[in-house]
Chain A
Amino acid sequence: MSDYKNFTMNFGPQHPAAHGVLRLILEMDGEVIRSADPHIGLLHRATEKLAESKPYNQNIGYMDRLDYVSMMCNEHAYVLAIEKLLKLEVPVRAQYIRVMFDEITRILNHLLWLGAHALDIGAMSVFLYAFREREDLMDCYEAVSGTRMHATYYRPGGVAKDLPNVMPKFMLNKNQNLKQIETLNYNREGTLLDFIDSFVDRFPKNVDEYENLLTENRIWKQRTVGIGVVSPERAIDLGFSGPMLRGSGVSWDLRKKEPYEVYKNLKFDIPIGTEGDSYDRYLVRIQEMRESAKIIQQCCEWLKKDDGQHISSNSKIAPPDRDDMKDNMESLIHHFKLFSEGYCVPEGEVYAAVEAPKGEFGIYMISDGANKPYRLKIRAPGFPHLAALNEMSKGHMLSDVVAIIGTQDIVFGEIDR
């Protein structure tokens, strides 16, 4: 037995705790991890190359499919990059709508992260609570875009459609009686904004429920406190961003530091951690959900009073009004050109980033003056996070690797691209 050394273990790619298709080659000494080598690329679809062969607007849909739990934030970075190159002004109403949906997306993402992370560690019920709230937010997505996940809602110059005046309701069916339907529809009588308002009103109480289950939970603390500690200097060097960086105590948030859209008009705080362990990152994300709810409330209030444009009126970029198109020659030509050839973007290069729920989601775009991007590089926040998995899990036990994957909030759509 004396020459019995470390052994190698394969983890994934089809493992429920691998959050998709992560394959890890673990070098183990007993139950202690000596090194972890992530093998990625099993979900590689060459989004960046596909984007080079399609007109600008046709790529918006690909952005949803990158980080498929924070769909609209990805679109946001992409349209911001195009707008920067075009020097296009976006109407204020569209900016508020975008910010509101960015924050709805942030809550959606954090809820999924919370549910999955807790499930990995062994707390089953949080998942069910988290998905109850996700359902309502998905309905908001559906109300504006028609789809519950891959919305393709943002457009260069604004958003595809204005907010609807009615919230879709549940209909009578053979499984539910009239009384049940009425309970389900209680906050769907007004507009979408009323529905979002009622959600935001009750959401802080829901967050309290999750915290009740976890924050002071002994098992939860045993599994997360002191796990995957990253010092602030190391976090910066490793390219961390978002909650991973803030959990280590670095106060850095693009919404405050490089305010895009209308973030500078809104009041919210940036929570930061102190220890840089999994528990701190959990606390940061929980607090971020509360802050997001505040932002949504402010946006709702503003949007209720306003009835401006939801998309730029520059018909070289944004499609003309549908009614107008039927009896106006100019509009018809614009419409035809936009949907057959697209629009040409001036030559140049640009980097646009948004604070996505997982961190800095950036788009580096090079245009050679054509109707398609010449090169599109997607800077996914999860990529450097997963690259640090080896460093974070070294010396921990096998079961802690699962907790570290959970705390990193890994989604393979964006890492493999």
Chain B
Amino acid sequence: MNKIRELFQELVIDYVESDMITLTVDKLNLRKVLKTLKETKDLQFNQLIDLCAVDLIEYGQSEWETKETTSKGYNRGINPQSHSRIDFVTEDVNEEYKLCVVYHLLSIKYNVRIRVKCNLSNESLIVPSVTDIFASADWYEREAYDLFGVLFEGHQDLRRILTDYGFIGHPFRKKFPLIGNTQVTYDPEQKKVVNVPVDISPRTLVPKVIRKRK
């Protein structure tokens, strides 16, 4: 830990040691930090185990809030934030982003793991690609682009990977409804299968509750 702190000093915004050493890096220094972690002789983090994006927009918000008490009991309306519909026409204009890209590295030689996080905000969702540093980053970056809409600058082949051909939207963002926006049905007049808006309404089965431990 101290060695890593010495090595990077100002380059890393935040050091945390939870289940593994976690570094938070600005995206300008991301490539430099990852490259140093891989190439420094007594670290050798040479395997990128995992790369994923996280949508932090609803972090810490619960769906079950007690607003008032009346003679009939508590007001416990479920507020279905993550299940609301989005309208793709207006989506990109006003939507606020709070995404984070997380890299998990493993040093096979020294049997140590490290986590590197890079926060993204409203200005741009572009991160430098690390495919030339770690070969395994290729598909992981495509996945993060597909599901969260994070763009990786310098990736040679940034196509969608898990969703259908011609899919619209980034389904793992918290604002994207769990049941999706469209469903397929057969149209007897056009005599073909067509996409129509979903006709069932989203619902919450078990509300999200946050309880702090004593």
Contacts and interface: CB of A to CB of B under 8 A. Distances in A.
Contacts of B62: 370
Nearest to B143: A383
**Majority SS of interface residues in chain B?**
loop
Given A41-B162, A364-B102, A387 B138 contact: yes
A372 B48 CA distance: 28
A241 B178 CA distance: 32
B18 A371 contact: no
Contacts of A346: 213
Interface in B97-137: 102, 104, 108, 111, 113, 115, 134-136
Given A53-B178, A236-B46, A239-B134, A250 B108 contact: yes
Given A53-B178, A351-B115, A46 B135 contact: no
Contacts of B134: 237, 239
A279 B28 CA distance: 44
B19 A44 contact: no
Nearest to A391: B135
Contacts, number: 123
Contacts of A351: 19-20, 50, 104, 113, 115
A416 B143 CA distance: 10
Contacts of B76: none
Interface string A120-139: 00000000000000000000
B161 interface: yes
A227 B82 CA distance: 48
A362 B104 CA distance: 11
A30 B104 CA distance: 41
Interface of B: 18-20, 22, 46-50, 52, 54-55, 58-60, 62, 82-83, 102, 104, 108, 111, 113, 115, 134-136, 138-140, 160-164, 171-172, 178, 204-206, 208-213
26 contacts: A41-B162, A44-B162, A44-B163, A46-B171, A49-B172, A50-B178, A53-B82, A53-B178, A54-B206, A234-B135, A238-B136, A239-B47, A341-B209, A344-B209, A346-B213, A349-B22, A349-B115, A351-B19, A369-B60, A370-B62, A370-B208, A374-B58, A377-B52, A387-B139, A388-B135, A416-B162
